[in-house]
Amino acid sequence: MNPLERVGARTNAFFEYAGGLTQLLGSSIGFLFRARIRIGEAISQAYLLGYQSLPITLLTSLFTGMVIALESAVNAVQYGLGNIVGGAVAYTSARELGPMLTGIVVAGRAGSAIAAEIGSMVVTDQVEALRSMGIEPARYLVVPRLLALVVMLPLLTIFADVISIIGGAWVAKIFAHIGYSDFMQSARTTISMGDVEKGLIKTVVFAAIIALVGSFQGLRTRGGAAGVGKSTTGAVVVSMMLIFISNFALSVLLYGSSG
């Protein structure tokens, strides 16, 4: 294959992937609107993909909040700006780091689980069995996972925002002697409910990315156990890339240049 053909093949593969993902999104939305949802399975997936991601999400957010506070508090106090540390931690947590880190953590944990489970089902003919019974894999497998993550990721993000601010307040108290009430007062005056809401809107998009990319990678699995491994890795890599890209796009869209 000459270089030109290779470029052509890769371009083709890219559009094939993007088209397949869009098609899966379309059919999943169609099933959601027609209320063809397996509620029991969605609840079960909410537990597996959402609730079970809570510890790692909290841990990540706690330490992130602590690091932001550590980096900003000591310097801020030196310049007499200790009263803005709470605001800085809350601002970055609610608008950017809370939603994005939660998305990344869940993409790593739940996105890979979705791809591995569906991929295993593909290589053992279980997905073909569903199709042979006239059951659409998108409705049976994808929609419950999509719904579960769209509900659970914003909830996880709320917990992440809160724990990040708590961690930040604790570190600011220990290392920069900023009182809890000063920290919280700064946080309250800096962020608005709108900031939190916009952060949560982002997580809905991230949830859709994680569920759809994980499912799509799983459904296109070929070649046994090795194929499942590739799909799982692919799901995490593509989800994370799309989360970073969409995070920037959403920040521009939601906050504009004015912030």
Partner 1 sequence: MAERIIARLDSVSLRFGDRLVLQNCSLPIVEGAITCIVGLSGAGKSTVLRLLDGLVRPQEGHVYVRDVDVCHTKERELNKIRRSISLSFQFAALLDSLTLEQNVSLPLVENTNMRRSEIRQKVSEALDAVGLTFANTNLPAELSGGMLKRAGFARAVVTQPDLILYDEPTTGLDPISVHLITKTIMRLRERSNGTAVVTSHDLPAIYMMADYMAMLFEGVIIAYGTTEEIRQSQNPIVQQFLAGDEVGPIPI
| Binding interface with partner 1 (CB under 8 A) | 121, 124-126, 128-136, 140
Nearer to partner 1, 194 or 224 (CB): 224
Nearer to partner 1, 118 or 165 (CB): 118
Query: CB of 4: closest distance to partner 1 in angstroms?
Result: 22
Query: CB of 223: closest distance to partner 1 in angstroms?
Result: 13
Query: CB of 133: closest distance to partner 1 in angstroms?
Result: 5
Query: CB of 134: closest distance to partner 1 in angstroms?
Result: 4
Nearer to partner 1, 26 or 179 (CB): 26
Nearer to partner 1, 134 or 256 (CB): 134
Query: CB of 23: closest distance to partner 1 in angstroms?
Result: 11
- Angle at alpha carbon of residue 183, lines to 195 and 162, rounded to 5°: 50
Nearer to partner 1, 132 or 258 (CB): 132
